[in-house]
Structure 1
């Protein structure tokens, strides 16, 4: 499949991102490796200024808008999110003086909502889930004359792919990388970076069992839309797959692993115990999938992407405080 961008364009995006935020670390944690029986690297996207990898895409997307002819530059942008995409646009928009409106589902994470408002975004709560909020954002874009920022676009993928460039530069001999999938920019960025660098690393997509739309789409080879998602990992809570993202995934990902909320929560606890890092549900999903496939990955050099650490305090306290004895990953 033809890449979305060139290696030179990816490196230029990395320069743009690094002018604002430093590269995030990738660390092979000894205790984590011991527990899982493999050399486990964690790519720490929870260490960005907004606590998630999405900030990279926001910076590159807003830069893309700034380079449009004057007559085409938007007076303001709008998008839908469960939190991290919205924070990325608010962060980049504030730097560029670009007004940002974000639509989130009703009952969205209070912490993520507060963070977006603190970054200067106007927040609108509408709809029962991400897909309903997205429909409302499209309607508001028309009503207010705003430019709709989609959840998947070439500048967004090029931006988030800079984390993959950092990872592969620091650890080029990885056997496999596990990547969580919501709308797919992070997974597709990882695939694009691997292919542009000519690497043979296996890339495994990870979804939540309570949001099976992407996994079913991957299996069918076409977008399949399901019922509203039911998972604590809000970053993975989408109903289906974006066609452009699915095409890249089916061509470049080895498989999709679905993990349960119980497995995700166990991975959140393990990340804290073994690395003292905070992971939100989506951020721990990759480790949960590796734990599921630990026998397959035994003795290999593997990375997991900790995509974000933006979890509400009460949710995290409940996860850390659980004593159900089901944490096979901590054995």
Structure 2
């Protein structure tokens, strides 16, 4: 099984390429949660993700013959960038298979780092199958995203940094996709500190680990569906499973809505941009998915910041909806002059701000002398939404909340 010595050896292999990322105390999230929260900002790592650590750790072990033949891997985006940069720095040719619908920003970044990109498959697992075909056909070395002890050890260097900067650590919260990250971090912290908890977090739409631990064998999902594309994996690796079973104290899940709220709070309160997978650890803390004591020192690992701008827009909007900062309403008005003005007066009195208004006189669900109106409104929170709805209904309007 992976050991602390393996992680320490990996640090020597990756230190010339990987940055030592900040560990910052967060007054905002400490106040919100009641814990003593320190954020491990791995989203500030080179390539925007922790994956460069594991990739460099593995590529540094290649023989001269393997370097000449090149490497191949599969990735939804972050491991792709890590392998591309690590290989380029080592003078090794790299070929990366990515899902056909991988975020365009991650595809472009992988190419900029020197990797040859092959788009194939609907998700990571289908891309991986294609990468193994290329491995056999071209004699390349396959650099696994997580089921490799050198990769796991490289990711574990994050744990070394956490322990060095936060020796009073009580709990570290780590995302789980394929399991390489949490395997490395749990090894680094558990073998150095006593009574430290390691909490693993998966997205509900890609959650296989808890069931695997319960049944004692790796369980594989038929499909995955989550905004956290960096951890959208059908099942964890064999080597990580052994470590998780031994060293991880608890595995919890978070919904896409909870991820969106955490991502929005990070952006708004701390000016920190993360991707969906990078927000799941904080989401688990804010959603109280695991128990902790008041003032307990908790370190959520923000594992990546490579979010597509279109996705970011959608996630922010979802976060606003979930926290009552944005609401879409529908009602029916008499089709006469002044009807809309009367409704808008009620809304203005409640100090809600209007983003958009849409009229529809053609709906078969309303009378010939009526018009259906949808309003997109900026609000100040869940209590404000309830006050607004109460005021509108008090004036005799039947109103439906769409989102």
Indicate whether the TM-score tops 0.5: yes
1:119-165 deviation per Cα after TM superposition (whole angstroms, max 9, x unaligned): 11110111111111101111111122222112221111111111110
1:47 is aligned to 2:41: no
Deviation at 1:199, TM superposition (A): 3.0
Match of 2:298 among 282, 287, 302: 302
With over 3 angstroms needed to count, the CA separation of the structure-2 counterparts of 1:93 and 1:324, relative to structure 1, is: same
SS of the aligned residue for 2:76 comes to: coil
Q: Distance in 1 between matches of 2:83 and 2:266?
A: 28
- The TM-score with structure 2 as length reference comes to 0.77
Q: In structure 2, what is the equivalent of residue 314 of structure 1?
A: 310
Q: In structure 2, what is the equivalent of residue 76 of structure 1?
A: 70
RMSD between superposed Cα atoms in Å: 1.9
1:278-327 deviation per Cα after TM superposition (whole angstroms, max 9, x unaligned): 01000000011111227822321101000000000111122223431437
With over 3 angstroms needed to count, the CA separation of the structure-2 counterparts of 1:320 and 1:14, relative to structure 1, is: same
Query: Unpaired runs of 5+ in structure 1?
Result: none
Q: Distance in 1 between matches of 2:76 and 2:210?
A: 20
Q: Distance in 2 between matches of 1:177 and 1:216?
A: 21
Larger radius of gyration: 2
Q: Distance in 1 between matches of 2:135 and 2:40?
A: 35
Q: In structure 1, what is the equivalent of residue 86 of structure 2?
A: 92
Deviation at 1:221, TM superposition (A): 1.8
Deviation at 1:219, TM superposition (A): 2.2
Q: Distance in 2 between matches of 1:259 and 1:291?
A: 10
SS of the aligned residue for 1:296 comes to: coil
Query: Unpaired runs of 5+ in structure 2?
Result: 326-380, 383-403
Q: Distance in 2 between matches of 1:101 and 1:168?
A: 35
1:170 is aligned to 2:165: yes
Q: In structure 2, what is the equivalent of residue 103 of structure 1?
A: 97
Number of residue-to-residue matches in the alignment: 324
Q: In structure 1, what is the equivalent of residue 141 of structure 2?
A: 147
Q: Distance in 2 between matches of 1:259 and 1:193?
A: 25
1:324 is aligned to 2:344: no
Q: What are the equivalent positions in structure 2 for 1:279-290 lying under 5 Å apart?
A: 279-290=274-285
Q: Select the structure with the greater relative contact order (CA < 8 A; seq sep ≥ 6).
A: 1
Match of 2:31 among 14, 29, 34: 34
Deviation at 1:11, TM superposition (A): 2.9
1:159-217 deviation per Cα after TM superposition (whole angstroms, max 9, x unaligned): 11111100111001111111001111110011110233143210011001001222321
SS of the aligned residue for 2:194 comes to: coil
Q: In structure 1, what is the equivalent of residue 107 of structure 2?
A: 113
